[in-house]
Chain A
Amino acid sequence: MSRHPEPTGEPVAAVTRTQEGILSTYCELIEELGTDDVPYRVIALRAGVSERTVFRNFPARVHLLLAAADWIERTVFAGVEPESIFDVPLAIREAMEAYDRRSELAHVVAEAAMRGGSGAAPARRAPGFDRLLRLEVPSLTAEERWALVAALTHLDSPGTWVTMRRELGMSGRDIADAAMWAAEALLNPIRNRSSAEPPPAR
């Protein structure tokens, strides 16, 4: 049988005050101008720092972009940490509504997560989902739990919003409904699996 890797926690990124100022300014500019090549000069001017300071903190655009995506996830799209795994569908619905309000920023986070091994955290919520499932539905097998963590982590991301908007032309309301429906449908089969119940025979 295949071994299922444990989801790991995200690395803690310490952001200085200066960096925070640059990142929030950059995000403002993305929402005004789009993601394409907002010049460092313009960021520096708006943030009230020298261009050199921007370069010192973010030597290449990829650093700026990944740091911005991380910052956006932690601040703009932070949402409420669900207390129960069964709160996740509602949290997903709210997240989709937030992506719809700040669509350019949703694209930034979605794209940063798709870059392969370059520092983005595409499974930020996975450790939390894993913990809640162990706690609330201990009868799940490791395989079942891992599949659920993976599916919910994937749904609870701006990628869902982007795909449904781009490829299916859905409205913000319909996207929120569709993502919540999918999460509910995935959780429904385990709603009655109490802790007393032994894992199903395989």
Chain B
Amino acid sequence: MDESVDTDAAILASAAALLRESTFEDITYADIAEHSGVSERTIYRYFPTRSHLLESLARWIERERLPESDFTTIPEFIATVHQRFRAFDAAPAFAFVLARAASVSPTLDNPSSPLADSIERMLRSVAPTLNARDLRRTTAALRYFGSAMFWARMRSGLDGSAAQTSEVFERTVRTLLTSLPSEAWAA
């Protein structure tokens, strides 16, 4: 069991290292085999398709290279996302992998989202009487604008820097929150 966990991690660490020189598209299983010393056959056993590899690599990057910080208030949430966008700008290859992995048809069980869970928890605490519908759609919008997808679209579609992306993110979040009923907020 331990051995398989290590193999798994070694393959993903190699794939992440190869992202320094090539895009995910250009990295072959043979490249990873050579870099990690794990046989190509074993890599296929762990990651039967490139989608499996992409999703697993994104989780590894999230955990090992771009861990999110905790937040419990709106300003902390905004600061966390600003910090993430700056980290994405510093490691665009990682950020594009996160954005792509979040958009493919899921291959892994339980495509969990720690960020969505944290946002919902924060909203429940700062706006305790928010109705279920508003809570859900606000969580969804905040999560989507705080995502690697938003960073990627701003970067490749609108030529925006991390600073501009952060500015649009913050402006959008504040406008959305202002539209919620004022009595929903905790005193």
* A-B pairs with beta carbons under 8 Å apart, 29 shown: A2-B161, A2-B164, A37-B50, A107-B105, A110-B149, A111-B103, A111-B104, A113-B153, A114-B100, A114-B102, A116-B23, A116-B156, A117-B156, A126-B157, A153-B158, A154-B149, A155-B144, A158-B103, A162-B103, A163-B143, A163-B149, A166-B111, A167-B115, A167-B116, A168-B116, A168-B136, A168-B140, A182-B137, A186-B175
Complex A-B, nearest 5 residue pairs according to Cβ-Cβ distance, in ascending order: A123-B157, A122-B157, A178-B137, A167-B113, A110-B103
Say if the beta carbon of B37 comes within 8 Å of chain A.
Answer: no
- Whole-angstrom CA separation of A178 from B141 in the bound complex: 7
Please choose the segment from B28-36, B61-69, B166-174 that sits at the chain A interface, where 4 or more of its residues have CB less than 8 A away: B166-174
Q: Which of B94-122 contact A (CB under 8 A)?
A: 96, 99-100, 102-106, 111-113, 115-116
By secondary structure, the A interface counts as helix
What residues of chain A lie closer than 8 Å to B150, measured between beta carbons? 154
A-B contact count (CB 8 A): 152
> Is A162 in contact with B102, judged by CB distance below 8 angstroms?
yes
What is the interface size of chain B, counting residues whose CB is below 8 A from a CB of the partner? 51
> Is A37 in contact with B137, judged by CB distance below 8 angstroms?
no
Q: Among B144, B161, B164, which residue has its beta carbon within 8 angstroms of that of A159?
A: B144
State the Cβ distance, B22 to closest chain A Cβ, in Å.
12
| Mask: chain A, 144-155; 1 = CB below 8 Å from B; 0 = not | 001101110111
What is the interface size of chain A, counting residues whose CB is below 8 A from a CB of the partner? 54
- Could you list which residues of chain A lie within 8 angstroms of chain B, going by C-beta atoms? 2, 4-5, 7, 34-37, 62, 103-104, 107, 110-111, 113-118, 120-123, 126, 146-147, 149-151, 153-155, 157-160, 162-164, 166-168, 170, 174-175, 177-178, 181-182, 185-186, 188-189
